[in-house]
Structure 1
Amino acid sequence: MKWPVQQVMWEKLRSHQIDRLSTCNLSQGRSYTSRYPRQMLSNCSQGLNRTVLTMPHVTASDSGLYRCSFEGSPGENETVVTRLTVTDGETDNQYIHSIAGGAALLLLFVILIATLSVILYHR
């Protein structure tokens, strides 16, 4: 972007509505949050060359399309849409349990081979 950004707005897009999450007026260096029932944090300062929307403690319900709109002088606007996918944490727990179970079986197998080797060596 080569033109000065005056305002940045983050929104969550849904099939039946658009939720405004944060608006940042860069000319004033002020950030305005919405009535969206979820805590959102965004950076806002004059001379900003990037924007970040932070959502603490995301859950699967936070998945969806998010739109960031940049407004400059009249006719100088840009919009970026991104998809956020949050998987349920149980999937990760199952993966960890599988790895731990496999490691335990491997350890038992190594102990068995070592025991058999010692027994056969002493014969």
Structure 2
Amino acid sequence: MTQTRPNRTLGPGHDDFWAGCAAGELRIQHCNACDKHSWPVFGHCEHCGSTDLRWQVMSGKGKVVSWCCFVQDYYRGVMSVPYDTIMVELAEGPIFMSNPADFAYDDITFEMPVEVTFIDAEDAAGAFKLPVFRKA
């Protein structure tokens, strides 16, 4: 079942991220100059400022390092409230904000192992694959 979501950020760099999701890959920018990951998408490395970035496929594995439940309707009816959000520290290091899949707020524990999966979603720009995380 397709879920309606708030509009994605599209454009240079972002389109590459969403193309990876469509292929079932969680891709993060990696800096060739300093050998660190740079996330979220930006035109230069957040660590050293280099523009020598390439996309690297992540393992999709990580652990939950923070979580919350939103009860305020920030998206004016686009998403049903309440909804849960998690911060996942990917095995490769970057922190990625997402939603839990097949588990809820009361099931979450600190450093709980998770792995990425992709769900069918849509926004004003059309259908896309959204990365979310399930228990590993």
Please give the range of the TM-score, normalised by the shorter of the 2 chains: under 0.3
Greater fraction of residues in strand? 2
* Higher-RCO chain (CA-CA 8 Å, sequence separation at least 6): 2
TM-score by length of 1: 0.22
TM-score by length of 2: 0.21
Greater fraction of residues in helix? 1
